[in-house]
Structure 1
C-alpha cells in the first residue's frame, strides 16, 4: 500500500481469509480426529487378535498333549496285553 488503508478495508481483506482459515483448520482437525480413531480401532483389533491367538494356541497345545497322552496309554495298554498273554 502506498497509503495506509482504512480499518474497514483491512477488515474486508482479512475477514474472508480468517473465515477460510478457520474452516480449513476445522477440516484438518476433523481429519486428524478420524485418523486417530481409526488408529485406535486398529490398535485394539491387533491386541484382541493377539489375545485370541494366545488363547487358541493354548487350546491347541492342550488338545495335542491329550492326543499324545491317549496314544501313549494305548501303546502301553497294548504292550501289557501282549506281555500278559
Structure 2
C-alpha cells in the first residue's frame, strides 16, 4: 500500500469516528508529529554556525582523545 493510499484510508476511517475522546487522542498524536519540527532562535543558529566553522577548521577533539584524557584524570 502506498503512502497516499494509506493516508486516504486513515482519513476515511477518521471521518466515520464520532467519539470525541478518540478524536482528541488522534489529534494529540498528529500534533506531536508536527511539533517535531525544530524552530531555532537567532542565538542558536549563530552558535551552530560557529560550531560548524570550528569543526571545519579542525578545532575539535575526537571521542577517543577525550576518553583518554578522562582516564588520565580519573587515575589521579
What's the TM-score, normalizing by structure 2? 0.33
Q: With structure 1 as the length reference, what TM-score do the two structures score?
A: 0.30
By relative contact order (CA 8 Å, sep 6+), the higher-ranking structure is 2
